[in-house]
Homo-oligomer: A and B are copies of this chain.
């Protein structure tokens, strides 16, 4: 296992030099889950139609959150994203809501952080809108599923 690349030989943090990398098409997919009371999930499900579209709002927040990643994560490179797609599905067995984010760019470094950040913001937004009825929700299982493009090639989490 190699050293942490975000630090120089003296231990000082840096934004890693990616200027020598090729600008290629890159994609990352991440997922996460927010667990909640069955009644909370029921409120979200019934809201899709007329009583407040929790998932629609979380989706927008996630897309906007992906664009803010480099402002939040100190050593992250700013990247012009070319695609953000968010899937939010109710998971009755959790019970809760599952989020998957796919992010793409044509750039010199990957978009894993953007995909993970989008998932986090989606879950936070669901928490915010449901916290008045359920304080005990838990955000969990936020992880990278897939990464494509760049020197390291295609990687997919084994399940």
Contacts of A91 in B (CB 8 A): none
Among A72, A147, A155, find the residue whose CB has the most chain B CB atoms closer than 10 A.
A72
Q: How far is the CA of A37 from the CA of B15 in the complex (A)?
A: 24
Q: Assuming the A-B contacts A64-B71, A72-B121, A75-B63, are A11 and B84 also in contact, with contact meaning beta carbons closer than 8 angstroms in the complex?
A: no
Contact B143 A139 (CB under 8 A): yes
A154 close to chain B: CB less than 8 A: no
Binding site for B on A (CB under 8 A): 1-8, 10-19, 23, 25, 32, 37, 39-40, 43, 47, 49-54, 56-57, 59-61, 63-68, 70-88, 104-108, 112-113, 116-117, 120-121, 123-125, 127-144, 147, 155, 157
